[in-house]
């Protein structure tokens, strides 16, 4: 083990890199926002946990390029938004809050913020792949972005 990176048996490629760990957090968070269980408050708990996972993943990548640096504060804001709904969902004020016009604006704002974060991730992955010399790696991510926006 050298500098926090576990070396493989060949000694050439790290077994766990910063990218692997960060993208694992991001994909776990993405999975939790896609799954919806309307039982036991899981429809509020899973997106809140997802926001934290995604913010942790972007925290590791924010120094990689300008797109990830811009996506990190947006993701933190989205995580705070999801935690707000988690806390509001388990109070007696949930019915009152959900009927307020300001909350409808916040709901649309949350949807737009998700789209902004996904767009910034798409551009960040594209720039990082171009820097690494991997052509054509942003097309699958664009498909994921479109699929996520259609599903959510």
Distance CA 16, CA 8 (A): 9
Q: Show the tokens assigned to 24.
A: 């694992």
* pLDDT per residue of the chain (152 residues) written in tens, 0 to 9: 444 444 445 555 555 677 778 878 888 887 887 777 777 777 778 888 888 888 888 888 888 889 989 999 998 998 888 888 778 777 777 777 777 777 778 778 888 888 888 888 888 888 887 887 777 666 666 776 677 667 66
Predicted TM-score (pTM) of the model is 0.71
CA 59-46-42 angle, 5° bins: 165
């Amino acid at each position: 083990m050298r500098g926090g990176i576990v070396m493989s048996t060949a000694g050439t490629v790290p077994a766990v890199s910063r990218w692997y760990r960060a993208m694992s957090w991001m994909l776990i968070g993405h999975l939790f926002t896609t799954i919806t269980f309307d039982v036991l408050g899981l429809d509020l708990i899973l997106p809140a946990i997802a926001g934290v996972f995604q913010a942790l993943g972007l925290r590791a990548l924010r120094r990689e390029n300008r797109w990830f640096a811009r996506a990190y504060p947006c993701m933190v804001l989205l995580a705070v938004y999801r935690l707000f709904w988690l806390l509001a969902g388990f109070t007696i004020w949930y019915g009152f809050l959900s009927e307020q016009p300001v909350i409808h604006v916040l709901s649309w704002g949350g949807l737009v913020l998700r789209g902004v974060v996904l767009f910034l991730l798409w551009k960040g992955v594209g720039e990082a792949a171009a820097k690494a010399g991997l052509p054509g790696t942003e097309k699958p991510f664009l498909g994921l972005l479109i699929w996520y926006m259609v599903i959510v």
